[in-house]
C-alpha cells in the first residue's frame, strides 16, 4: 500500500488586497509595473511639485522612479520599502 500526503492549502496566508489607483484621478499614484518598493522619497504632509520623485520601484534588478504628475501635498503613503506591488496598486495619494 502507498500513502499519499496532501497539504491543506486552505490555511495558507494570503497577501491582503491592495487598493488600486483610479486611472482618471491624478491625485492617486499607482504602480506602473510589478516589483518591490526600493525607496520612498516623501512623507505625509510634504508638498510636491510635478515631476518630483515619490517612490523608487525595483523590478528585475532595475529601478524605476515614480514621479508626481501634478503639484500637491502628500495625504497618504500606502506602501513601505520592500513591499511587493502589482500594476496599478495605489502607492501614494495627493491632496
The most distant pair of C-alpha atoms in the chain lies apart, rounded to whole Å, by 70
- The pTM score is 0.80
| CATH node for 33-94 | 2.40.50.100
How many CA atoms, within 13 angstroms, populate the side-chain half-sphere of residue 53?
10
Going from N- to C-terminal start, the domains of the chain cover 33-94
Please give the pLDDT value at position 15. Answer: 62
Please give the pLDDT value at position 44. Answer: 97
Q: C-alpha grid cell for residue 13? A: 496566508
Q: What is the 3-state secondary structure (H, E, C) of 17-34?
A: CCCECCCCCCCEEECCCC
Helix (H) or strand (E) holding 43: none
Please give the pLDDT value at position 18. Answer: 84
Please give the pLDDT value at position 1. Answer: 77
Please give the pLDDT value at position 12. Answer: 63
Q: Could you say which residues of the chain have pLDDT below 50? A: none
Please give the pLDDT value at position 14. Answer: 63
Amino acid at each position: 500500500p502507498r500513502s499519499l500526503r496532501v497539504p491543506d492549502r486552505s490555511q495558507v496566508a494570503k497577501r491582503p488586497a491592495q487598493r488600486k489607483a483610479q486611472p482618471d484621478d491624478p491625485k492617486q499614484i499607482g504602480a506602473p509595473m510589478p516589483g518591490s518598493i526600493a525607496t520612498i522619497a516623501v512623507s505625509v504632509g510634504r508638498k510636491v511639485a510635478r515631476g518630483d520623485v515619490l517612490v523608487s520601484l525595483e523590478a528585475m534588478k532595475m529601478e524605476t522612479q515614480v514621479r508626481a504628475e501634478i503639484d500637491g501635498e502628500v495625504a497618504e503613503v500606502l506602501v513601505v520599502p520592500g513591499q511587493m506591488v502589482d500594476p496599478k496598486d495605489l502607492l501614494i495619494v495627493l491632496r
